[in-house]
Structure 1
């Protein structure tokens, strides 16, 4: 039938072909066979064997998304034609990991890649293609869709020969053994950086193999055992090998993508973006969608009436089988704490915590299986917890997530609890923190990480919503916690003072979390497109726009005093003053609470080092005021500017506070009862490092640039010249007072001169502040620095001191400045 149809439809082509064949028959045969003769279609068909010759009676077959056949050590996929060219999400994870791979921040369960793939037939091959949704024509019927396709050609991850067709020709059989046994970079567990670091030579094929392949109705899970030859492995160095087990998950994405929800930067969400070339905008239109789970009400009518309704498919988290029994209750509470915000969004029982099934209950359960979201408990000395997720790039739908909890992370929380609350909180003054208090801390950390996995980034403005004095009010803290959102980096109430009663010291869920969950997850009836939702979504924001409890502040902000990591309260000077007052009390009692109890100095050393870190954070919060700019995201229909410069008085007070608190030698940090029991030397270096870090941060290109910028918008402003003068005056007050300098002040004054040299000579044409750049060489920066150095040089020349070391020090500074100003002599 096919041949006669061909002849009837193309008679001229057939006639021409016959004439060519007859003509060729009359030619003399050549003595040498051409190497360029194309393979005939018959020889191609010969490559495709009968099904029974490939999938023999020896095959062990597992049926699912694809049929998977195992014959000896070979694996075959039988791919239904119906799923060819359909989008699938491929996620590569490490299932088992050697000690210290990646320096402690990789673990069993770490995702190494996430990509959309589809399987495509081309002639006698099946191609595994990687598909991108970053540039699209959402209207696929638009003419420009053709241009999008040809200008975004999909890379081929692997090409497979077709081994056989199913008996009814509805499926294609390929051999995946070589592909899944090879070192394919796109699905590997070792990045280029790790390969270079550990001097990886190659994959040892004799020690690498496919462990197993399991197929399910919507996904396929592959486990691979790989061993690499490496000159400098992260552990077991004598073996010169790195062995790890990889898990490859491939899941069929929904035929109909979830309706996306357009992102608004005034509410914090993780996002995915596309460039839509078919948009009617006169440009390539960037569409940014929030990342969220697909929650749909079982009873839409009841939901629309305002009743709480269960979702068709709730979010379920399983606990890692390796989770200590004593912690399971707190982990489950942390997961299900999000039920309340989801109720605000109209859903009940939207998120559920479960123990992992036993082998008897589900022999196929695996934490790496992309069907399951798991809170993984990692046996590691790393102190951290993370909440990653994988999502459909077409819509932002979160498909699965794993919360990672590292075993030693509780030690970090115990230490911070002691240091930040120990002055006002007697129960924190111990290395053996009460189990229930530790459990409450873990509960809140798990809830925080689950928040990330639900789509929420850090909201660093949430703690700025509360007045500093409110943190000393027991009733307020019990009702409101210490931030308007659990997603802030506000872990403890370090403001409350000794004698304050009924204080809550640990963070908890806040009003912003309910607001953000409702904004992102509430189904808007009759809104059948992302654009149809915009009016309602905007109205929800405007309702809360003037209430600081519902403000979102980006973690990436380095200039906004409202959005600072580890800060609490709406006045950094006042909050840090309270915090440092508490730290002084803790430092005085630290030996009594640690080494006196353990008869060992290890904990004292560890906690003293962390105490310096806490002190540094408190100081940094005040530094941000200087050259600070408040960022309040809004649309033109809202009153006021997006960016507002911090007032002059606050900036000047901040510089004065810095002089009094950190630049004037904080002798209380050099406690003999501590330092002389943890190290033989280096006491002055610890303090020099702390002071210099904040001096250099204060005297930075970006901060000076923002101060210069204020001249263009403000009637009254704190100028860059005033800041430099105030800093120099305080750092060198001994020059004018005639007082001798101590070791720490000499170090600090040298650091000032070195930083001024950096500002004067660093070869950079542009300095960054926020998202704006300025040309340093053509700005006031060099002139200001040169002028202040010249003035300082004159002051040092005329300085008088009876202290010999101070005199030598001033002579040295004078020579240093002269060399900076006159490098060629």
Structure 2
């Protein structure tokens, strides 16, 4: 039998050939225990154990025994653990205010890498190990793969002593945590540049705490940097972070990996096989998943629901408020419905935190416990990270993070998007039943991530938009086929629609994806043997929109957008705007409290404005949009199809009527007079200009030119877009009407956007645009608009409007004047 091993890990990993399970999870050549012949007797400089680990030591037994002796931290590392694979996960435990522009929060992961402690003479090194590249150790190319993927040394320290029976080395590791080691620090090179970081101040950098557990060691250490421009001016010229370093022992018995398929969304790990028969290094991916094995394989084969040998267990953080615990538990255990589709019962369990009497060793930091952490923070977010074995994709631990102020996001969103239809949403003190259900579904969403599922932004487009107005449909199917979509509140439902569901829930895609990733396939002894079975499950659902996947990244497919609902984005946005127009006049009453200022009103109004922008952008995506349906070569039909012409024209008509017309409904003077002295004009200008620039995006226009070339008269052309847009944005010019300040700003933005393309002729930094049809398109548009302005500008009795038309002519002349 041929052993398949990773040249970087010198160990067995998936190979795309007919290998048995034993072959795939074969022995690791480099994890023999270091010989005890290299003992303290051969090192005259070593001190006796009792002189290093004195009676004053504060020791903690675990994976390594840690010893705090004064300011020094020692690890007592068993020789049996040298050369073992360990996962080093670096997280930022605490951050200063405003760090990373507010996008880097406590709990953010800074790095994740596999390491090995190795003995080198009188030193112990930490080497960074990669399992991305692999080769058969018996093949000629193995030597080249190994030579071209040499393990870097992360850290090195002298051996201070051996333990009394010479079965472990004792090393001081202060310098690992108190020096600026890039691989484990929390400030990226870009942030160092942004804050003008000079250096790490070692006098103000120190180890705060160490905890040793059976399978992991957790170290918290403060890193203080001298910085000329820290994120907050009152930080005394420094940036201090509290880092948490987790050193986790990876299992010797490896899970059989499962090959990823882009048609079903999964977080995955990329691999390169240099022994592939392909005429290249064959790249493939394995999914990240928990290892679930049925207790009774025979019953499982018969189709009975069977409990797993080791279920997935989440504990609630002891800090979780009692009133929210039932909702958190339901959100976790909601996934049991999906696991039942995969043949498992009681696969995921939620538990209250144990008392000291029940489990004196319980700690959220212990890798043996996965925890839903409740963080007292003003951050408005929740996350679902997990830690996985990069060799096989096995998820070994997960901490869901719920930040307290995420409640604020959902109460606001519920009021804005459901206030017109649902009386329960017309208060900032959202009733517990509604806010509890929202929390439950947020936790379910984050647990989905921790199970291995990424966002599926395409899911919501599977449902007809008007179906979201149906009580029967929404109560049965929810707002989208997947809880992993961003579809937080039903903004499509109208006030006359009774009994509809307003909050997302788990859907058919979630059951399908969990079955695909977690169903135990005992008849397949290798990942390659599983593949035909997995492919068959995908093909059985092919053509059914409810089981399609789209990440939402790239911005090309209008059916795959975050926060969008339904298959018709224009209709959904019309419904959403209709509701917003009903909400705005009520915001003062719904947000005000006696004796309290208008801070809440300001916040909610600002978020409502952002949602209006979101609805507009959902529509913009249809113009020059391309619908994507992921397929493999054995499936018929195209992967990419341009959005039909009529849908694109309808989208532009919506934009002219709803986005580029002055939003008088939004400019509610009763609200504005309470939250700002001025700024309404600039706010609307910003909203409309961003929508216009998005519509005239370079890539979008290129796609439209390409579509015309390929599809001729069936295409909505870039020239038609500019013509429709000009007639809408400059409707006052063609009708002889007066323009208001908002429209004048928009019209200037239109001319400026077109002129900006022409001005690129002065430079050489965008050759793709210079050689495309975009320049000719914009030149022609400006010349056409200039002619229309010149012949019609006097057909108006308003002086400011005339001045405005003259100003636009001057701007066009300046834009057209380009020296070659």
Structure 1 and Structure 2 fold alike (TM over 0.5): yes
Match of 2:33 in 1: none
Against the structure 1 CA distance between its residues 45 and 661, is the aligned structure 2 distance closer, same or farther, given a 3 Å change threshold?
Answer: same
- Pick from 509, 532, 537: which aligns with 2:534? 537
1:91 corresponds to 2:115: no
CA distance in 2, matches of 1:748, 1:93: 45
Q: CA deviation at 1:43?
A: 12
Match of 1:754 in 2: 752
Larger CA deviation: 702-711 vs 226-235: 226-235
RMSD: 2.5
CA distance in 2, matches of 1:664, 1:87: 61
Q: In 2, are the aligned partners of 1:317 and 1:373 still within 8 Å (CA)?
A: yes
Q: CA deviation at 1:818?
A: 0.6
Larger CA deviation: 171-180 vs 115-124: 171-180
- The SS at the match of 1:711 is helix
- The SS at the match of 1:94 is strand
Match of 1:820 in 2: 815
1:779 corresponds to 2:776: no
Q: In 2, are the aligned partners of 1:765 and 1:776 still within 8 Å (CA)?
A: no
- Pick from 633, 643, 648: which aligns with 1:646? 643
Match of 1:792 in 2: 785
- Report matched runs for 1:111-260 at 5 Å: 111-137=109-135, 139-166=136-163, 169-198=166-195, 200-230=197-227, 234=231, 237=234, 240-260=237-257
CA distance in 2, matches of 1:264, 1:598: 58
Larger-Rg structure:
1
1:606 corresponds to 2:571: no
Unaligned runs of 5+ in 2: 1-38
Against the structure 1 CA distance between its residues 362 and 228, is the aligned structure 2 distance closer, same or farther, given a 3 Å change threshold?
Answer: farther
Q: In 2, are the aligned partners of 1:109 and 1:376 still within 8 Å (CA)?
A: no
Q: In 1, are the aligned partners of 2:704 and 2:717 still within 8 Å (CA)?
A: yes
Unaligned runs of 5+ in 1: 1-40, 768-773
Match of 1:14 in 2: none
Q: CA deviation at 1:765?
A: 7.2
- Report matched runs for 1:365-380 at 5 Å: 365-380=362-377
- The SS at the match of 2:709 is coil
Match of 2:459 in 1: 462
Match of 2:624 in 1: 627
Larger CA deviation: 640-649 vs 106-115: 106-115
Match of 1:299 in 2: 296
CA distance in 1, matches of 2:238, 2:213: 34
1:525 corresponds to 2:518: no
Match of 1:15 in 2: none
- Pick from 795, 807, 811: which aligns with 2:806? 811
Against the structure 1 CA distance between its residues 119 and 526, is the aligned structure 2 distance closer, same or farther, given a 3 Å change threshold?
Answer: same
Match of 2:428 in 1: 431
Q: In 2, are the aligned partners of 1:700 and 1:759 still within 8 Å (CA)?
A: no
Larger CA deviation: 73-82 vs 439-448: 73-82
Match of 2:412 in 1: 415
Q: CA deviation at 1:92?
A: 2.1
- Pick from 39, 43, 46: which aligns with 1:45? 43
Q: CA deviation at 1:355?
A: 2.4
CA distance in 1, matches of 2:111, 2:365: 13
1:347 corresponds to 2:344: yes
- The SS at the match of 1:381 is coil
CA distance in 2, matches of 1:516, 1:172: 47
- Cα distance per residue 1:716-748 (max 9 Å; x no partner): 111111111111122122222222222121111
1:592 corresponds to 2:589: yes
Match of 1:713 in 2: 710
Match of 2:571 in 1: 574
Against the structure 1 CA distance between its residues 177 and 694, is the aligned structure 2 distance closer, same or farther, given a 3 Å change threshold?
Answer: closer
Q: In 2, are the aligned partners of 1:249 and 1:369 still within 8 Å (CA)?
A: no
Q: TM-score, normalised by structure 1?
A: 0.89
CA distance in 2, matches of 1:321, 1:235: 32
CA distance in 2, matches of 1:793, 1:581: 36
Report the number of matched residues: 778
Q: In 1, are the aligned partners of 2:758 and 2:818 still within 8 Å (CA)?
A: no
CA distance in 2, matches of 1:238, 1:638: 59
Larger CA deviation: 589-598 vs 611-620: 589-598
Against the structure 1 CA distance between its residues 732 and 102, is the aligned structure 2 distance closer, same or farther, given a 3 Å change threshold?
Answer: closer
CA distance in 1, matches of 2:240, 2:359: 28
Match of 2:12 in 1: none
Match of 2:449 in 1: 452
CA distance in 2, matches of 1:131, 1:506: 44
- Report matched runs for 1:441-520 at 5 Å: 441-520=438-517
- Pick from 723, 726, 729: which aligns with 1:728? 726
- The SS at the match of 2:711 is coil
Against the structure 1 CA distance between its residues 473 and 131, is the aligned structure 2 distance closer, same or farther, given a 3 Å change threshold?
Answer: same
Against the structure 1 CA distance between its residues 404 and 59, is the aligned structure 2 distance closer, same or farther, given a 3 Å change threshold?
Answer: closer
Q: CA deviation at 1:397?
A: 1.3
Match of 1:20 in 2: none
Against the structure 1 CA distance between its residues 411 and 328, is the aligned structure 2 distance closer, same or farther, given a 3 Å change threshold?
Answer: same
CA distance in 1, matches of 2:122, 2:91: 31
Larger CA deviation: 578-587 vs 301-310: 301-310
Against the structure 1 CA distance between its residues 818 and 243, is the aligned structure 2 distance closer, same or farther, given a 3 Å change threshold?
Answer: closer
- Cα distance per residue 1:478-505 (max 9 Å; x no partner): 1111101011111111111112111111
Larger CA deviation: 63-72 vs 656-665: 63-72
